[in-house]
Structures are given as structure tokens and as C-alpha cells.
Structure 1
Amino acid sequence: MAKSMLLISRQSPWGGPGAREALDIALAGGAYELPIGILFLDDGVFQLVPKQQPAAIEQKDLGANLQALPLFGVEDLYVCRQSLRLRSLDGQPLSLPVTLLEGPELANLLDRYDLVITL
């Protein structure tokens, strides 16, 4: 049986390669039916802000990769509520349906996966 993997995405969409790499790993693992979840934490929550305009800073849009996650079977998407709150995003619409977690729920999430990778 395949091991489950949780990707913790902590980087903003344009703060370096981490955000794109996390999505690439998730999509590749999903294609092989690996049980994968993603936790958007810290500046990683900015990846979920809809209607971004990456062309203005000459970057590629991560939106298509995010929208492809459910198509590849990656449906366990989590967000740290405190990360949203600290970035004034709490209560704002997000580009994907996510489960909001905080406090002990985050620790419980980590315990549910065999592998945890932070990017």
C-alpha cells in the first residue's frame, strides 16, 4: 500500500520555487494515486488568493496547477486559520475549498500522514 504524504507549503506564490515545487510534487503523486494532502501555512496561504496577476511581475500563474489538484485526486487541502488571520485573509474567498485548522488540529493532521515534507 502506498504511503500517505502531507506537503506543507509555506512560501508565497512568487517568493521562490517552493510553492511551484509543492504543487508539482502533489500533482505527480496524485497521478500515481498516492494519498496526498497539502497544508497551506504561513505565506503559503497567499497561493489561495483568487484572481492573481502574475504577468505583472513576469511570473507564471500557479492558478491552473491549483485548480488541477482535484483532477489528480488531491482533495485533502488544509489551511492554517492563524496564518490567514495574520495576513488579513480570514473570511476572504479562497480559490479552492479547504479545511481550516488551528491549534491541536494541526498536530493531529501531521500524525495522520506517513511522510511530511515542508517546502
Structure 2
Amino acid sequence: MAKSLLIISRQAPWAGPSAREALDIALAGGAFDLPLGMLFLDDGVFQLAPAQQPAQLQQKNLAANLQALPMFGVEALFADARSLLERGLDAEHLTLDVEVLDDAALAALINRFDQVVTL
């Protein structure tokens, strides 16, 4: 039986390679039917913000990769309620359908997975 994996993405899409690396791990794991989930935490919630213009920062757009997650079997997508609130993001207007979790639910989520990778 495959061990479950939770990928915690904590970096904004323009803050370096971590956001893309987290997505690459999720897409690869999904392609191999690995039971996994992805949590957007801290500045990682900025990956879910609509109407981003990464070309102005000479960055690649992660939107297509994010939209591909469910197609690769990565359907357990989560965002931290506090991170969204602190950054002024409305859960109703995110680019992905994610389950928004409070602090207690975050702890339970992390404990539910066999392995956790934070990027």
C-alpha cells in the first residue's frame, strides 16, 4: 500500500522555485496514483489568487499547472483560512476549488498523512 503524502506549499509563486517544485511533485505523484494532498499555507495562498500577471516579473504562469492538479488525480486541495485572511484573499474568488481549513482542521489534516513535504 502506497504511503500518503501531503505537500505544503508556503511560497508565493514569484518568490523563487519552491512553488513550481511543489506543483511538480504533486503532478508527478498524481500521475503515479500516489495518495496525496496539497495544502497552500502562508504566502503559498498567493498561488490561488486570480488575475496574476507573472510576465511582469519575468516569471512563468503557474495557473495551467494548478488547473491540471485535478486531472492528475490531485483532488485533495486545501488552503489555510488564516493565511487567506491575513493576505486579503477571499476563498470564493480563488482560482482552484480548495477546502479552507481553520487551525484545528490543519493539525488534523497533517496528522492524516503518512509523509509531509514542505516547500
TM-score normalised over the length of structure 1: 0.97
SS in structure 1 of the partner of residue 116 of structure 2: strand
8 Å contact kept, 2:49–2:94: yes
List structure 1 segments (4+ residues) > 4 angstroms apart after TM superposition.
none
8 Å contact kept, 1:31–1:72: yes
Deviation at 1:56, TM superposition (A): 1.1
8 Å contact kept, 2:91–2:100: no
Gaps of 5+ in 2: none
After alignment, is 69-78 or 86-95 more displaced? 86-95
Gaps of 5+ in 1: none
Deviation track 1:76-95 (CA, whole Å, cap 9, x = no partner) reads: 00000000000111345000
Corresponding position of 1:100: 100
1:71 aligns with 2:71: yes
8 Å contact kept, 1:81–1:90: no
- The alpha-carbon distance between structure 1 residues 76 and 86, as it changes in their structure 2 partners (threshold 3 A), is same
Paired AA for residue 74 in structure 2 = V
TM-score normalised over the length of structure 2: 0.97
Aligned pairs (5 A) from 1:1-119: 1-119=1-119
Paired residue total: 119
How far, CA to CA, are the matches of 1:38 and 1:91 in structure 2? 16
Q: Percent identity?
A: 64
CA RMSD of aligned residues (A): 0.9
